Structure 1
Amino acid sequence: MLTSQRKALIAERLNRDGEIVAKTLAAELDLSEDTIRRDLREMASEGLLKRVHGGALPLSPPLPDFAARQSLATDEKAALGARAAAMVAPGQVIFLDGGTTTAALARALPRSFPFTVVTHSPTIACELERHPTAEVVLIGGRLYKHSMVTTGAMALDAIRGLKADIYFMGVTAAHPTHGLTTGDMEEAATKRTIAENAAVTWILLTHEKLGLASPWRIMPLPAATGLIVPAGLTPEALAPYRETGVEIAEA
C-alpha cells in the first residue's frame, strides 16, 4: 500500500471512529507499527491530526476570535448557562472561566440572592456590571486576548489565594481518554490551578467539543466533578464519558 493510500485510509478511519490506535491499524494492514507511527507523525506535522500516546485523535479546529464566537450556537450556550446557573446557591463563591458559553452563564445567574463571582475575564466582569446581587472579584494578570482572560504569575498567585465553591470551566475540547484540553499553554495552566482551588469543577461543553483534543492538556476527565452538555446527545455518544465516572448534566 502506497504512503498516500495509507494516509487516506487513516483520515477516513479517524473521521469514522474518532481515533487511531497505531498497533491495531498496523496489525489490520499487516504493516509494522513504526510505519503507521511515521505516517501519523507526518500527518500531524501537516496539521491533519493530533498525535497522542499509541495513536492519534482528530485535531480540534482553530477557534475564531472572541467576537466571532459570540454569535455561534447561541441557543445551545444559553441552555448550558441556564443549567449551570441553577447550581448556584446563596452565599457561594463561584469562579467563572472566560469564554462565550460562560458569558451566557453570567447572564443567567440568579438575581434573588447574594453570592460572589471570581473571574479572570474582563468580559465576564462586564456581563455582571448591572447584576443586583453578585459581588464581583476580577483577577489581574497578562491578558490573553484570544480568550479574553488573564494568565501568568500574577493571576496564578491570586487564584491560589482563594477557595471557590464551584468552578465553571470552559475548554476547547473534551475526550474520554485524553481529557480536557485547550489551545494555549498558559491558559491550560491557569484553568488547572483554578480547578485545584475549587471544591467542585463543572465543564460546560457545546456538542462540537466532544471527542476532540487540543494541544494543551488541562487535566484528565475524572478530575472534573461533572460535564454540562446539550440535551439530545445519543446514549452512545455519552457512554465513553459516563464510563470515566464523571457526572453528566444535560441542559
Structure 2
Amino acid sequence: MPELLAAERRDLILEALRRERKLQAATLATRFGCSQDTIRRDLDQLAAEGLVKRVHGGALPLGGGDAPFAERRARQSPAKDAVARAAAALIPDDAVVLLDGGTTCLNVTRHLPAALRTTIFTTSPPVAEALASHPGVRVEMLGGQLNPRTLTTVGATTVAALGALRPDLCLLGPCGLHPEAGVTVGDPDERAVKAAMIAAAAETVALATSDKLGIVLPYVVAELTQLGRLVVELDAADPALGPYTDHGVVVVAA
C-alpha cells in the first residue's frame, strides 16, 4: 500500500470502524504498514475530535443515541414499532414494572393489551400521559428534576425512589449496546437513573433497534451480563447478535 497521509489514514480508520465495530491498534498497524505508535496517535487524535471511543489496545465507535426526545420522536420507524410491540407482550398481569423513557418505550404504551392489569412506574412524563388512558394500568410517576433533552426525571430524588422499589421487570431504553462496553448513554444523570433501574428490578429487558448495537456512548450504565433479554428487530440467528448471546442475553426477535 502506498504511504498514506495521516488524514487519509484516519479517514480509512473511521470507515473500518463503521464496518467492524472494533479495531485493534496492532491489526491497523499491519493493515496500513506503519508502527503501532503511529496508529495510537491516530486513535488519540480521533478520540480528541469526539469521533471514536479510545479503549486499551484500540478503539470503539461512538454513537448518536442521545439526541433530544423531540428529534428522536420524529424519527419513527417500522423497526422501532416492532420492538415496542414485542416488548408490550412481555408485561405480565399483576406485576410491578419499570418502563423507561425514550421513544421506543413510549411506543410500548400503544401496544399494551386492553385487558392488561398491572402497575407501571416511569420516569417519563410522556409515557405516564400515554398510560393514563389505559383502564387497567396503575401509573406511578417517579419524581425528580426534569431533563429537558430526554423528558425524563433525573437526580438524587429519582435514584432514591428507585432504591425503594423491587419491580418484577424493567423495560430499559439503552442509547448504546456493545459487547464489551455494555449499556451506555450520553448523559451522566441518565446513567445514574438507568443504573438504579437495573439494580432495582428482578429482570431487565433492553429494547433496542439494530442501529443501537455496537454503539458506545461516554457513560457506562451496566455490563451486558446484567441484562436478561434483548428485544430487537433482527432474527435471533442473525450473526450480529452472537456477541450478545455469548454474554448470556436472551434475544427476543421482534
For the pair 1:101 / 2:134, whether they are aligned, the reply is: no
Match in the other structure for 1:13: 16
For the pair 1:228 / 2:231, whether they are aligned, the reply is: yes
Match in the other structure for 1:191: 194
Distance in 1 of aligned mates of 2:40 and 2:118: 51
Q: Which moved more, 1:77-86 or 1:179-188?
A: 77-86
Distance in 2 of aligned mates of 1:233 and 1:124: 28
Contact 2:210 2:234 in 1 (8 A): no
Contact 2:65 2:175 in 1 (8 A): no
For the pair 1:158 / 2:172, whether they are aligned, the reply is: no
- TM-score, normalised to structure 1, is 0.93
Distance in 2 of aligned mates of 1:114 and 1:244: 33
Aligned residues: 251
Match in the other structure for 1:175: 178
Distance in 2 of aligned mates of 1:210 and 1:140: 30
Distance in 1 of aligned mates of 2:183 and 2:146: 22
For the pair 1:203 / 2:206, whether they are aligned, the reply is: yes
Contact 2:65 2:212 in 1 (8 A): no
For the pair 1:72 / 2:88, whether they are aligned, the reply is: no
Q: Report the alpha carbon displacement of residue 216 of structure 1 after superposing the two structures with TM.
A: 0.8
Matches within 5 A, 1:116-155: 116-155=119-158
Distance in 2 of aligned mates of 1:52 and 1:94: 35
Distance in 1 of aligned mates of 2:83 and 2:31: 41
Task: Please give the per-residue CA displacement for 1:74-110, whole angstroms capped at 9, x wherever unaligned.
Answer: 3222211111111111110000000000001122122
Q: Report the alpha carbon displacement of residue 114 of structure 1 after superposing the two structures with TM.
A: 1.6
Deviation >6 Å, runs of 4+: none
Q: Report the alpha carbon displacement of residue 234 of structure 1 after superposing the two structures with TM.
A: 6.4
Query: Which of 71, 83, 86 lines up with 1:83 in the alignment?
Result: 86
Match in the other structure for 1:111: 114
Seen in structure 2, the aligned counterparts of structure 1 residues 25 and 157 have a Cα distance that, compared at 3 Å, is: same
Q: Report the alpha carbon displacement of residue 233 of structure 1 after superposing the two structures with TM.
A: 7.3
Q: Which runs of 5+ in 2 are unaligned?
A: none
Which amino acid letter does the alignment assign opposite residue 249 of structure 2? V
Q: Which moved more, 1:25-34 or 1:87-96?
A: 25-34
Which amino acid letter does the alignment assign opposite residue 238 of structure 2? P
- TM-score, normalised to structure 2, is 0.92
